[in-house]
Amino acid sequence: MSEEPICCMIIVPSSPALLETIADREHAKRFPHGDHPHLWVSARSAGHGALFTREPGSEGTDWTIAEIASRELDDTPVFTVWFDDERAQVAVWRCGQQVEVLDRDPVELVRGLGFDLFPSERAPLWNRGGYHEVAIVEGASVDDVRAALGDAAAPCVVEQVRSGILVYRAGSDLADEPFTLSVGLPERRVYSVTHDDEAHEFMVRVMRDGVEVGRFNHPAVDPAHELPDVLGARSPRAILAALGVAPELLGYR
């Protein structure tokens, strides 16, 4: 009999020991006689620890654990990830408060953080619809970037360019490497640059410490709330030149 799908996860950028302690304590409070099975299972990746559950309706418990863990970790981000098709969500907690909900695919985020818990079903975007993506980390070294990526560095090209360190996958799209880099190098600005040549859309998302701090779209979607330029450049080719990225990597000829 196959396992039920994972309902939600709680993720911290450290070992899962703190989460395990909190989950055990909260379980003992709710079921002091030990008459109910424990809902949470531990998981580890190269740089993160997590708890996950396959039990539907566990969201209230994960909020409690995330709130307590984020209070103990001060400003270090704690993530709660829900995989429900009708309520997929990635939330960020700091200092006991939920501070943001990220526009992220939950499965891609979890894979990008190094957790191999889901079957790989998605075809590479570079083989579907002419989608291209690269990431640039400002002010970092190649070694910094490889260390932040951990196991996820293996399929990536990592090289120095004018504006920092360029990361891309030859022949396929990035998974969640930009987010992983932003969390792993919280003081560095990370640019996620995408181009869909069929839709004629170019976008630069600027992230810091796992949070998007600005976005540039060409053509503009919401000019009042978007960045007016990237490194002083306002067109896709000019932005790529300012970043030091070859246009061919984004599908331009």
Gap between the Cα atoms of 25 and 43, Å rounded = 18
Structure tokens at 230: 């990237």
pLDDT (mean) for 212-235: 93
DSSP state letter for 31? -
For the cut 90, the answer to whether the pLDDT of residue 95 exceeds it is yes
Over residues 148-155, the mean pLDDT reads 83
Residues 6+ apart with CB under 8 A from 123: none
pLDDT score, position 167: 96
Q: Is the sign of the CA dihedral 193, 196, 202, 207 positive or negative? A: negative
Pairing between β-strand 78-82 and β-strand 97-102 as defined by DSSP bridges: unpaired
Confidence band, pLDDT 50/70/90 cuts, at residue 123? very low
Contact between 69 and 77 (Cβ < 8 Å): no
Q: For residues 92 and 98, is the Cβ–Cβ distance under 8 A?
A: yes
Instruction: Give 162-192 pLDDT, tens digit per residue.
Output: 999 999 987 777 878 898 899 999 999 999 9
Q: What are the Cα distances from residue 38, in Å, to 13, 50, 59, 249?
A: 23, 15, 14, 48
Quick one: pLDDT band at residue 200, thresholds 50, 70, 90? confident
Q: Please give the helix or strand (H or E) that residue 108 lies within, else none.
A: helix 106-112
CA atoms within 13 A on the CB side of 245: 33
The string of pLDDT tens digits covering residues 19-50 is 999 998 888 887 777 666 677 899 988 788 99
Query: Any bridge partners for residue 82, and if so which?
Result: 8, 89
Cα gap 100→179, rounded to integer Å: 14
pLDDT value, residue 58? 56
What one-letter code names the amino acid at 53? T
Total-model pTM:
0.60
Q: Answer for the pair 193, 173: CB distance below 8 angstroms, yes or no.
A: no
